[in-house]
Amino acid sequence: MSTSAAPSSSSSPSLNVTGIAVPATAKDDVYVPVEIVSEEEMAFLEAALASTRSVLSSSPSPFFSSACSSASRFALLSPLPSGLSHSCRPQSLATTPNIEDFVPPRSSLLRRFRSRRGLSVTDIIGTEWCEKQMEFALTHGKPKRTVAMKAGSDRHSQLEKEVVEKVEIRTESVEEYWVIQLMNFIVGAHQLLFEGLTRELPVVGIIEDTWMVGVIDEIRLSRDEDTVCTFLVDTKTRYKATVPSEAQRRNARLQLMCYKYLWDNLVTTNFPMEEFFDHFKLNRLYILSGDVKEHIASLGFDVKMLEDVFTYFQDTSCMLSLSHEQLLLRYELQSDHSLLGEDSFLYDAGWFQKQIHKCLEFWMGDREASFVSDDEKWKCNFCKFTSICPLSATTSRKSAK
> Can you give the pLDDT at residue 142?
76
Q: Which residues pair with 233 in a beta bridge?
A: 218, 328
**Mean pLDDT value of segment 353-361:** 97
| Nearest alpha-carbon partner for 222 in 192, 199, 259, 200 | 192
> Can you give the pLDDT at residue 145?
65
> Can you give the pLDDT at residue 37?
37
**Mean pLDDT value of segment 186-196:** 95
> Can you give the pLDDT at residue 353?
97
**Mean pLDDT value of segment 89-107:** 44
Residue 306 pLDDT grade (very low, low, confident, very high; cuts 50, 70, 90): very high
- Asked if the model's pLDDT at residue 1 lies above 60, the reply is no
Share of the chain above pLDDT 70, in %: 66
Which pairing describes strands 119-120 and 91-92: parallel, antiparallel, or unpaired?
unpaired
Among the residue ranges 146-155, 228-237, 380-389, the one predicted with the least confidence is: 146-155
Highest-confidence range of 8-17, 151-160, 266-275, by mean pLDDT? 266-275
Instruction: Report domain extents, the chain.
Output: 19-370
Higher pLDDT, 311 or 168: 311
Among the residue ranges 52-61, 175-184, 260-269, 270-279, the one predicted with the least confidence is: 52-61
| Nearest alpha-carbon partner for 168 in 40, 58, 316, 19 | 58
Looking at every residue in the chain, the average pLDDT score rounds to: 77
Residue 102 pLDDT grade (very low, low, confident, very high; cuts 50, 70, 90): very low
Among the residue ranges 11-20, 158-167, 261-270, the one predicted with the least confidence is: 11-20
Higher pLDDT, 154 or 338: 338
> Can you give the pLDDT at residue 392?
77
Question: pLDDT by residue (tens digit) across 156-187?
Answer: 666 666 677 777 788 889 999 999 999 999 99
> Can you give the pLDDT at residue 156?
60
> Can you give the pLDDT at residue 363?
97
> Can you give the pLDDT at residue 117?
83
> Can you give the pLDDT at residue 265?
97
In angstroms, rounded to a whole number, what is the distance separating the alpha carbons of residues 54 and 203?
A: 19
- Asked if the model's pLDDT at residue 395 lies above 80, the reply is no
Residue 116 pLDDT grade (very low, low, confident, very high; cuts 50, 70, 90): confident
Query: Would you call 311 helix, strand, or coil by DSSP?
Result: helix
- pTM over 0.85? The answer is no
> Can you give the pLDDT at residue 75?
39
Share of the chain above pLDDT 90, in %: 58
In angstroms, rounded to a whole number, what is the distance separating the alpha carbons of residues 22 and 243?
A: 7
Among the residue ranges 41-50, 133-142, 242-251, 307-316, the one predicted with the least confidence is: 41-50
Residue 40 pLDDT grade (very low, low, confident, very high; cuts 50, 70, 90): very low
In angstroms, rounded to a whole number, what is the distance separating the alpha carbons of residues 318 and 74?
A: 21
In angstroms, rounded to a whole number, what is the distance separating the alpha carbons of residues 126 and 133?
A: 8
The answer to whether 307 and 179 have CB atoms below 8 angstroms apart is no
